[in-house]
Amino acid sequence: MSLGAPLVCWLEECRKDSVPLVGGKCSSLGELINAGVRVPPGFALTTEGYRRFIAEAGIGREIAAMLERLDTDDLEALGKASASIRARIEEQPFSAELEDLVAERYRKLAVRCCMPAVPVAVRSSATAEDLPDASFAGQQDTFLWIRGVDEVLHHMRRCISSLYADRALAYRARRGVGDDRLAISVGVQKMAKAYTAGVMFTLHPANGDRSVIVIDASFGFGESVVSGEVTPDHFVVNKVTLDIIDRTISQKEICYTVDSRTQTSRATEVPLERQRIQSLLDDEITQLAWMGKRIEQHYGRPMDIEWAVDKDLAAGGNIFILQARPETVWSARQPAATSLPGTAMDYILTNMLAGKRLS
C-alpha cells in the first residue's frame, strides 16, 4: 500500500494517468471535467480503497484458496465458486473509516446537487490498462437510481464482487491473467434526470465528414436512442462554426423516465402533442456541439459521446456528458486513395475530366 494514495476521490481529481487508481471510466470522466466539459458530479472508491476493503475483511487468502482448488473448465464448479466468493465479499462490512469516507462524499454530493439522498449510478471502473480487451472482466456492472448511503455501500460491494463473476473468472483463466494484479475502482455519480438525451458523433457517421458534429436526440433517457427504439431527432452541426446546417424532427413515440416508486427507468409513451416537437433547443444543440468539439480537441480524435439534459437543473448549466469514447468505424478506415496531383491546374483537369455525375 503506497502511502498517501487516497481511498476515495472526487471525479474532478481524476486524470488520464489516474487509471491505476480509479480505472478507465472514472479517469476518463475526470479528464472530461478538467477539459471544461460538464459531467454529472461524483466520486470514486479508488483501487486503494478496494485493497483496504479486501485487506480489512481478511478474505484475500480465503478467496485465493477457493480459486486454487478450482477447475476452470468445469462450468458448474466455476459458477458455484463465483457465487460463494461473491457472497463472501458482499457480506463483509466496510470498516468505519471507509464507511465514513464514502458517507462523507455522498453527503457532500447530495449538497452539491441540492438533493437529499441524491440518486446515483454506482458502477465498476476497471483497471484493465495492461489488457487490450478492456471488457476482460465482462463486469462493467452498473447500478442505477441508487439512493442513500447504505444502498451506495451495498452496491459498491456488488461492484467489487463482480470481479469474481463466473465469466470474469473463466476469461482470466483462459488468458492466464493472474488474480494477484486484480484491482477495481467503483464510481458513484449523480443520475442525470434526463429531459432529453442521446448520442453525438464528432464526425458524420454516414460519410466520415470530420467538419460536422451529428447529434441524435430524444425525450427521456438515452436508452431509447441507443437501443434504436425511437427514431431520434437528428441534427447536423458545422464543427467549425457551430451553426446547425441540417435538422430532421422525428416522431418520438416513447421515452424512458424514472419510475418514482421503484426508482428504475421504464418506457412510457410520449404525449401525442409532444411527439413531433424538437427535443433539444437550438441553443442546447450549439452548446452540446461546442462540448463535443472540446472533447474531440482534448482527445485529438473523433469521439462517440453520450449526453443528457438534466431536468433537475437550470438551463445554461444542465447539459451533461455521460460518456465519451473514441469513434472506431471511420477512424479505423484508411482514407480513400484519391490522387492529389498537387498543382491546381492538374487537379482542375483531372476532376473536369471526371465530370459531375448526375443520377
Which residues contribute to the site for other proteins (CB under 8 A)? 204, 207, 209-212, 236, 238-241, 243-247, 249, 273-274, 276-282, 335, 338, 340-345, 347-349, 351-353, 355-359
Q: Please say which residue, 111 or 348, places its beta carbon nearer to other proteins.
A: 348
Q: How far is the CB of 280 from other proteins (least distance, A)?
A: 8
Q: How far is the CB of 193 from other proteins (least distance, A)?
A: 16
3 state DSSP class of 338: coil
What are the phi and psi torsion angles at 335 (to 5°)? -60, 140
Q: Which helix (H) or strand (E) holds 34?
A: helix 19-34
CB-CB neighbours of 66 under 10 Å? 17
Q: Which residues pair with 233 in a beta bridge?
A: 217
Q: How far is the CB of 353 from other proteins (least distance, A)?
A: 6
Cα distances from 255 to residues 12, 27, 144, 145, 280, in angstroms, run 31, 30, 17, 17, 14
Q: How far is the CB of 104 from other proteins (least distance, A)?
A: 38
Find where cell 483463466 sits.
173
Q: How far is the CB of 316 from other proteins (least distance, A)?
A: 14
Q: Please say which residue, 263 or 278, places its beta carbon nearer to other proteins.
A: 278
Q: Name the residue among 165, 180, 162, 168 with its Cα closest to residue 64.
A: 180
Residues in CB range of 221: below 8 A, 6 or more apart: 194, 197, 255, 256, 257, 258, 265, 308
Q: Please say which residue, 80 or 293, places its beta carbon nearer to other proteins.
A: 293
Task: List helix spans (H) across 92-148.
Answer: 96-112
Task: Give the angle subtended at the CA of 203 by the CAs of 198 and 209, to the nearest 5°.
Answer: 140
Q: Please say which residue, 51 or 247, places its beta carbon nearer to other proteins.
A: 247
What does the block give as the cell for 200?
453525438
Q: Please say which residue, 50 or 195, places its beta carbon nearer to other proteins.
A: 195
Q: Please say which residue, 2 or 241, places its beta carbon nearer to other proteins.
A: 241
Q: How far is the CB of 340 from other proteins (least distance, A)?
A: 4
Q: How far is the CB of 204 from other proteins (least distance, A)?
A: 6
Q: How far is the CB of 18 from other proteins (least distance, A)?
A: 29
Q: Which helix (H) or strand (E) holds 279?
A: none
Taking the alpha carbons of 152, 158, 159, 161 in that order, is the dihedral positive or negative? positive
User: In whole angstroms, what is the distance from residue 223 CA to residue 353 CA?
Assistant: 49
Q: Please say which residue, 262 or 359, places its beta carbon nearer to other proteins.
A: 359
Task: List helix spans (H) across 113-253.
Answer: 149-161, 166-175, 223-226
Q: Please say which residue, 260 or 343, places its beta carbon nearer to other proteins.
A: 343
